[in-house]
Amino acid sequence: MASTMLSIASATPSASLSMHEKLKGKVKLGSTTNSTAGFIKTKSFGRVSMVAAVNVSRFEGVTMAPPDPILGVSEAFKADTDEKKLNLGVGAYRTEELQPYVLDVVKKAENLMLERGENKEYLPIEGLAAFNKVTAELLFGADNSVLKEQRVATVQGLSGTGSLRLAAALIERYFPGAKVLISSPTWGNHKNIFNDARVPWSEYRYYDPKTVGLDFEGMIADIKAAPGGSFILLHGCAHNPTGIDPTPEQWEKIADVIQEKNHIPFFDVAYQGFASGSLDNDASSVRLFATRGMELLVAQSYSKNLGLYAERIGAMNVVCSSSDLAARCCEVAVIQVKSQLKRLARPMYSNPPVHGARIVANVVGNPALFDEWKAEMEMMAGRIKNVRQKLFDSLSAKDKSGKDWSFILRQIGMFSFTGLNKAQSDNMTNKWHVYMTKDGRISLAGLSLAKCEYLADAIIDSYHNVS
Q: Which of 87-101, 131-145, 251-265 has the lowest mean pLDDT?
A: 87-101
Let me know: does 204 contact 213? Beta carbons within 8 Å.
Answer: no
Alpha helices in 175-215 (DSSP H): 188-196
> pLDDT, tens digit, for every residue of 109-124?
999 999 999 999 999 9
What fold does the segment set 122-365 form as a domain? Aspartate Aminotransferase; domain 2 (3.40.640)
Give pairs for 63-69: CB < 8 Å, separation 24+: 68/188, 69/188, 69/437, 69/438
CATH 3.40.640.10 location in the chain: 122-365
Considering 179, 304, 338, 390, which one is annotated as catalytic? 304
Considering 268, 373, 432, 451, which one is annotated as catalytic? 268
> pLDDT, tens digit, for every residue of 188-207?
899 999 999 999 999 999 99
Q: Is-catalytic flag, 304? A: yes
The amino acid at residue 99 is Q
Let me know: does 272 contact 139? Beta carbons within 8 Å.
Answer: yes
43, pLDDT greater than 50: no
User: What is residue 94's DSSP assignment?
Assistant: B
> pLDDT, tens digit, for every residue of 416-426?
999 999 999 99
Considering 187, 201, 405, 432, which one is annotated as catalytic? 187
210, pLDDT greater than 50: yes
> pLDDT, tens digit, for every residue of 52-103?
566 889 999 999 998 887 777 888 899 999 999 999 998 899 999 999 999 9
Residue 316's φ and ψ, nearest 5 degrees, are: -115, 125
More confident residue, 22 or 282: 282
Q: Which of 239-253, 309-323, 352-366, 443-457 has the lowest mean pLDDT?
A: 309-323
d(C-alpha 93, C-alpha 96), whole Å: 10
Q: What is the mean pLDDT of the chain?
A: 88
69-101+372-465 is classed CATH 3.90.1150.10: yes
> pLDDT, tens digit, for every residue of 277-319?
999 999 999 999 999 999 999 999 999 999 999 999 999 999 9
CATH 3.90.1150.10 location in the chain: 69-101+372-465
The predicted structure's pLDDT at residue 328: 54
Q: Is-catalytic flag, 405? A: no
The amino acid at residue 69 is P
